[in-house]
Every structure is written in C-alpha cells, then in structure tokens.
Structure 1
Amino acid sequence: MQAKILVLCKHDGIRETILRLLGNNADWQGIGTNNLFEAKQMLGSDNFDIALLGNGFTEAEESEVTEFVNQHSPGTKTVYHYGGGSGLLSAEIYQALA
C-alpha cells in the first residue's frame, strides 16, 4: 500500500523536486500544493499519512497547518522538511511512517 504524502511548499521548483523524489519510490504517492486553504481541504477530505511542510510558510502558517492536522486528521504525521537532499528527505519520511 502506498503512503500518501501531501507536500506543502510555496517554492514551485522545490515542491516539484520533492514530488519527483517521492515519485521515485513505488511505496510513496506525493500530492503537492502551495495554498494553505487547498491543503486544509485535502487534509479534511482525504487520508494522508504525512503532511510534509517545505519552505516559504511563516511560523504562524506552519502552526495553523499543524493544529489543523491534529484536530481534523489525527492519523496524519506532520514532517518539516527545509532541504538537505534526498537522503534526508527519505529518512524523515521513513521515520514518520515507522
């Protein structure tokens, strides 16, 4: 079964790179957005294993997403990824799924 990962990142190029890296793993399905409203809609209506927060959001926006996940999608893990390469990204995801 594929792990569903919602990638929230305001930088289009970085978000697309993360999605490409996720797509290289047959066990992961990545869906991306740069819009908090859209992210909340997706988190509230679909079962994601991970909400992966990338760059570009303010601390208040990150807190808003984390609180929303905790209240409306408690089975979803929140992962903060601010770079560090594909090895770190994989490690963060594997740790969250463990």
Structure 2
Amino acid sequence: MDKVKILAVGRHEEILQTVVRLVNNNPEWEGVGAVTDKDAVQQFDHQVIDVILLCGGIEPESESNLRAYFTAHRPAVTIIQHYGGGSGLLTAEVYEALRRKSQTL
C-alpha cells in the first residue's frame, strides 16, 4: 500500500518541522513541509499530495488563495485546518479526514 503523502504548510519553521516529524513517525504517512505559499504550490505541483495540513500563522488571504489553488488543481485533495495540540490530535485529524474521504468514494 502506498503511503499517504501529506504537505504541511505553516509560517513557523520550528513548529512546521515538528509537525512534519510527527507525520513521518507514522509508517503509513510521508510528510513534507512548506513555509511560503510559493514553496507549498511548487511541492503540490511536483508530487502527488493526498492531504494538506494548514498549520498556524497563515494569513487569511494566503489561506484562502492556497485553498482555492489546491482544490482548483486537484479537487480530490483533502485539506485539514491543523490547530496544534500534539501528536494525538494530529493523528486523529488526519485519520478522521481520511475516513470521511473514503466514505465519499
């Protein structure tokens, strides 16, 4: 089974590194991170991303633009607003989003 590819986007480098590390601790997932909108779009365009985590610090206009871009170019992508709260919450958020997605397929 292929790993679920997760792109985490956030403005705080240290927090983003932690989120990516937590994602990569799950053997079913593969995570990458992006601090800027440009980097997020480039990563999204050059690999198959299954889930996008929108982490803290993203300005409302940037978040809106990113959501619009991602869904316009790959409508099936799952976008999660990640509020922090540790590995348990992160895991629950991703599994819940994947569960909902599998129910709609």
| Structure 2 counterpart of 1:59 | 60
Residue 38 of structure 1 and its aligned partner are, at CA, apart by 1.5
| Structure 2 counterpart of 1:69 | 70
5+ residue gaps in structure 2? Answer: 100-105
Percent identity, aligned pairs only, is 38
Residue 71 of structure 1 and its aligned partner are, at CA, apart by 0.2
5+ residue gaps in structure 1? Answer: none
Residue 73 of structure 1 and its aligned partner are, at CA, apart by 1.6
Is 2:93 the counterpart of 1:92? yes
2-side partners of 1:91 and 1:60: how far apart? 27
Alignment of 1:1-20 (within 5 A): 1-20=2-21
2-side partners of 1:30 and 1:73: how far apart? 18
Amino acid at match of 1:94: Y
2-side partners of 1:3 and 1:50: how far apart? 8
Is 2:38 the counterpart of 1:37? yes
What TM-score results when the alignment is normalised by the length of structure 1? Answer: 0.94
2-side partners of 1:74 and 1:47: how far apart? 12
RMSD (Å) for aligned C-alpha atoms: 1.0
What TM-score results when the alignment is normalised by the length of structure 2? Answer: 0.88
